[in-house]
Copies of this chain bind each other. A is one copy, B any other.
Amino acid sequence: MAKFQVIILGCGSATPSARHQPSCQVVDFRDKLFMIDCGEGAQSQFRRQGLKFSRLGHIFISHLHGDHLFGLPGLLSTMSLHEVQGKVTIHIFRKGAELLKQWMDFFNRDSSFEIEYDIIEPGERRVVYEDSALTVETFPLYHRTECTGYIFREKPKLRHLKGDMVKFHDIPVSKLQEIKEGADYVKADGTVIPNAALTSPADPSISYAYCSDTLHSLRVARDIEGVDTVYHEATYDSSLAAQARDRGHSTAAQAADVAAKAGARRLIIGHFSKRYIHGEDILLKEAQEIFPDVTLANEGLRVDLL
């Protein structure tokens, strides 16, 4: 089956620690790589996972806090030293694009590839990436500064032909694509063979939502309704709910609540406070009380989204 995987490169908060790296992850969709956030050290984590710079064409930044983007200058410079060709698009708020461009125009002025800046406006919902099989769209998160989430969605897939029926009705090859797309078949004599007789349903289209950093918000649950897998920040345990609110973060239980209300199948939690130096079991436990399928993020974790 075609690959659709998320690889966690960093799931700590605020500063790198002995336990976790700052925020960064990669979505591997059929061998195209998409990076979400790019904390310091992202380039090292990327290579440690055996990923190829030449496959990375898009980087999506959620917001302009250093722990989500200080890895960009080093990553982009190293990509140039590796003679990556073509174009890398960075999806980022305007001020971040300005600041990054100033650095890259100086430190990476001999870049082997073009850097394109796609400006995200605060609060917008927009498809910021699209190819024949995938879209990536933004939706607002609610942090101390403008912040955007990203939803990766497979496009609707083709229905499966029933080989015996195609043969029985002697359907020409030229018609098969439109039948897979849902069309009925009309025979030369005008007889209509309904699509349902010729095909079985398409595989479901899979989706993945990235929600970090954000307050607990039902608006987030609504915006990501129906996604299969949710990554949601869970900076704190429930005893620190007031602190979470003050700092624009969520507790693990709140992350689980959002996943449950969105009707998701699976939740990955991350962006852990460094206070959980001996492990995030308390966060896992609190989330599991509310939502059944919870995974603790960790550097190097790979989750098949299919």
Give CA–CA (A67, B78) in the complex, Å.
9
* Interface membership of A298, Cβ < 8 A: no
CB of B43 within 8 A of CB of A74, answer no
Interface centre among A14, A95, A99 (most CB of B within 10 A): A99
Give CA–CA (A71, B67) in the complex, Å.
12
- Give the bracket for the number of chain A residues in contact with chain B: 20 to 34
Work out how many copies of this chain go into the complex: 2
| Those of A95-126 within 8 Å (CB) of chain B | 95, 99, 102-103, 106-108
Give CA–CA (A64, B44) in the complex, Å.
21
Give CA–CA (A8, B64) in the complex, Å.
31
Chain B residues with CB below 8 A from A15, complex form: 43, 74, 77-78, 81
| Those of A45-71 within 8 Å (CB) of chain B | 47-48, 64-67, 70-71
Give CA–CA (A48, B15) in the complex, Å.
13
A103 contacts which of B14, B81, B103 (Cβ < 8 Å)?
B103
CB of A103 within 8 A of CB of B99, answer yes
Give the residue name and chain of the B residue nearest to A103 (CB): B99
Give CA–CA (A108, B99) in the complex, Å.
13
Chain B residues with CB below 8 A from A47, complex form: 18
Give the residue name and chain of the B residue nearest to A77 (CB): B66
Interface residues of A (CB under 8 A from B): 14-16, 18, 40-41, 43-44, 47-48, 64-67, 70-71, 73-74, 77-78, 81, 95, 99, 102-103, 106-108
- Pull 11 A–B residue pairs with CB atoms less than 8 Å apart, ordered by A: A14-B78, A15-B43, A15-B78, A16-B43, A18-B47, A40-B43, A40-B73, A64-B106, A64-B107, A99-B106, A103-B103
* Extra pairs beyond A41-B44, A95-B106 (19, CB < 8 Å): A14-B78, A14-B81, A15-B43, A15-B74, A15-B77, A15-B78, A15-B81, A18-B47, A40-B43, A40-B44, A64-B106, A64-B107, A66-B73, A66-B108, A67-B77, A70-B73, A70-B77, A99-B107, A102-B102
